[in-house]
A = this chain, B = another copy of it.
Amino acid sequence: MTTLDDLLNPRSIAIVGASDDPTRIGGRPLSHMIRQRFEGAVHPVNPSRETVQGLRAYPSLAEIEGDVDFVLVAVPAASVCGVVRQAAAKRAKTVMVLSSGFAEMGGDGIALQDELCALARETGVRVVGPNCLGAFNAAMRFFPTFTSTIDRARPEPGGISIASQSGAYGSHIYMVSHLRGLGIGYWMTTGNEADLHVAEVIKLYAEREDVHTIMAYAESIKDGPMLIEALEGARANRIPVIFMKVGRSAVGAEAASSHTASLAGEDAIYDAVLRQYGAYRARSTEEMLDIAYACRPRIYPAGKRLGVVTISGGAGVLIADAAEDYGLDVAPMPEDMQAELKALLPFASARNPVDVTAQFFNDLTLIPRFTRAMLDRGGYDGLIGFWTSVAGSPLLADKLLGHLTETMSHYENRLFLHCLLAPEEVRKRYEDAGFPCFEDATRTVAVMAALMFFGQAFAWRGGDLLAVPDPVEFPDGPLSERGAKEILQAAGLPMVDDVLVTTASHAASTATLMDGPVAMKIVSPDIAHKTEIGGVMLGVEGADAAEAAFHHIMANAVTAMPLAQIDGVLISPMVSGGIECIVGAKIDPVFGPMVMFGLGGILTEVLKDVAFRRAPFGPAVAREMIDGLKGAAVLKGARGTPPADLDALADAISKLSLFAAANADRLESVEMNPLRALPDRCLALDALIVKKRN
């Protein structure tokens, strides 16, 4: 098992392709290591020089005495695999390849990268890159990277670490962090990811005591299960992972694939997986840094109730608006407490947002009194205070801080974020007292929402209750609707009753027994699109009509597909009422079995109002999928129809997820469409299972 120490805490480093020129790729890492006084042994390898940047140079790795833990490579692509072999012979744990000319170039570069990948497996040496910008371990002053950024911004250790697929953008993220005073402990760029992926870097960070927050940037994820393992590890250790997965848009995805030489995959899937496993997806770099900054107190509220205390009513309105955008609950204070506060200060708004007005100038104790009331009686999971530049004035800043510190000392683990305009030294005193500070109110709300997301993710229990069933034995060949229904019914999924008939007279008697209009559909493993060939008739009523329909459907099928195997005609009662849904699962190439739920029709096809989750999951997660739909209200009776049985629906979605997980290796997709959500149950009217092509 690789550890982060194997990668970034070596006793010795060799730089193959070391250059005397500190502005070149092979020169800059060496220069960093010398100037920053890395304490381990540093061995330049350069066959044409005696010394490099004042250090003794070796003609080859083999010439160095003893083992070399870490080998940094800056030689042309064609020579890289040879270096890896030599590194293995020197018992190196890690080879980091800065050189480009691999998969990103296409053609021969792809083959070269495949060879590098195979070599990593064969030798057990971990390969970072190729085509990467390097990494650093700030505490150990270890800087195997040719970024020039650290010349302008000396890394200071801190609890935040960065994993980035992109080198240039990874440098940018580091630089912005530095400018904001955030200490970055570890920084790793993974480039083409022949062996080490961003996902594994996150996993290794999440195992560390000295990492408390992880920032990640990726344009594609190659190893879905590793990412999930990483995120589960981080969640278990209460380490927030803030993730920028870019390439959301069509143009962005295209730019990403030309940039990293791998396809981005479906964005909605990434979105769902990150959310499901407790990583927060940041939409901008600034948002990512805002959140990381606010993680410093390591307080993650496990609810969504937001209390707001402000000295400007306008700011209160603004914050309430933003809170709704971010799904937070600006719940009102209890009525009796409102009355009490009103008695204290008649001008105040006591509801929430609580507005203490300019009266605060005259009586600073209003703040602790109102704050205590909110915490004691409002039951808020987090608080935002809006103080504008008033709190930054020399007259008031420290007094207010004193009151806040004293007040909050009585409440453990309650998050209090502050909006204020203050000189840096004042802001720093707030931060040191455990109060993250922002200038902009809307950004403050966004950060609160993220920290509450983490709090809820960390509090999440229920992943271990699932019993994934045994895989199902699929029959040979394609599955008909009838076959799919039988399999899914056996898996506990609610299927409409149906009868397979092979004669017109059986059709007639079955329709009579069903007592009401029936649906009749051709059954054939060879006919996937039944409606198109005239193989479906709905609302058939009575024995005569059923007999006629049977003949009609059979004739249509034979005409359209004379060679198809026909099993007969499936008859089922027409189910009226309820709301049409669609539940399906497909096996994603990156993340495996992903379940989709939507309301079908326009909402699914045009508005893409669908929810995804990775299988398997229980009914609680399924319920989140339902509730997360924009059109969820339809299931709850919004349009005059009676509310659907959401428990039954969640149960069906969860069961499909268990089925998909159990059979992921032999499935391509499975779908129940429509699944009718009725007031007292739900019922699949059709089913389709597509087996994996071999």
A interface vs B, CB < 8 Å?
A: 148-149, 152-153, 164-166, 168-172, 175-176, 179, 217, 219, 244, 246-252, 254-256, 258-260, 283-287, 311-318, 320-325, 330, 349, 351-353, 355, 358, 388-390, 392-393, 421, 439-443, 599, 601-603, 605-607, 609, 630-631, 633-634, 638-639
A356: min CB distance to chain B, Å: 11
CA distance A217 to B321 in the complex (A): 14
Residues of B within 8 A of A284 (CB): 318, 322, 440-443
CB of B249 within 8 A of CB of A320, answer yes
CB proximity of A182 to chain B, nearest CB, Å: 14
Interface contacts beyond A164-B314, A251-B352, A283-B442: sample of 4 additional A-B pairs, CB < 8 Å, sorted by A: A152-B389, A172-B389, A283-B325, A602-B634
Instruction: Report the bound CA distance from A351 to B256 in whole Å.
Output: 12
Q: Is the CB of A321 within 8 A of B440?
A: no
Nearest B residue to A605 via CB reads B639
Flag if B217 contacts A314 (CB, 8 Å). Answer: yes
With contacts A421-B179, A607-B631 taken as known, whether A321 is within 8 angstroms of B247 at the C-beta atoms is yes
Instruction: Give CA–CA (A248, B442) in the complex, Å.
Output: 13
Cα A245 to Cα B179 in complex, Å, equals: 33
Which chain B residues lie closer than 8 Å to A353 at the CB level? 251, 255
A258 partner residues in chain B, CB cutoff 8 A? 313, 349, 351
Give the Cβ gap from A419 to chain B, nearest Cβ, in Å: 9
User: Which residues of B sit under 8 angstroms from A244, Cβ to Cβ?
Assistant: 318
A259 interface neighbour in B316, B606, B633, B639, Cβ under 8 Å: B316
Q: Are A321 and B248 in contact (CB under 8 A)?
A: yes
Cα A248 to Cα B326 in complex, Å, equals 13
The residue from B153, B314, B325 contacting A219, defined by CB atoms under 8 A apart: B314
Query: In the complex, what residue of chain B is closest to A175 when comparing beta carbons?
Result: B389
Contacts of A388 in B (CB 8 A): 168, 171-172, 175
Give the 9 A-B CB pairs with smallest separation, nearest first: A169-B314, A166-B314, A168-B312, A249-B324, A284-B442, A259-B313, A252-B320, A252-B321, A286-B440
Residue from B168, B285, B606 in contact with A358 in the complex, judged by beta carbons closer than 8 Å: B168
Closest to A390 in B: B148
Q: Which of A250, A351, A421 has the most CB of B within 10 A?
A: A421
Q: Contacts A389-B149, A389-B175: A168 and B314 contacting too (C-beta < 8 A)?
A: yes
Q: Is the CB of B255 within 8 A of A166?
A: no
> Which B residues touch A249, using CB under 8 A?
320-321, 323-325
Shortest beta-carbon distance, A380 to chain B, in Å?
13
Give bound CA distance, A100 to B105, whole Å: 71
Residues of B within 8 A of A607 (CB): 603, 607, 609, 630-631
Minimum C-beta distance from A672 to chain B (A)? 20
CA distance A150 to B324 in the complex (A): 33
List B contacts of A170 (CB < 8 A): 314
A100 (CB) vs chain B CBs: closest residue: B347
Q: Max chain B CB contacts within 10 Å: which of A352, A390, A633?
A: A390
How far is the CB of A269 from the nearest CB of chain B, in Å? 16
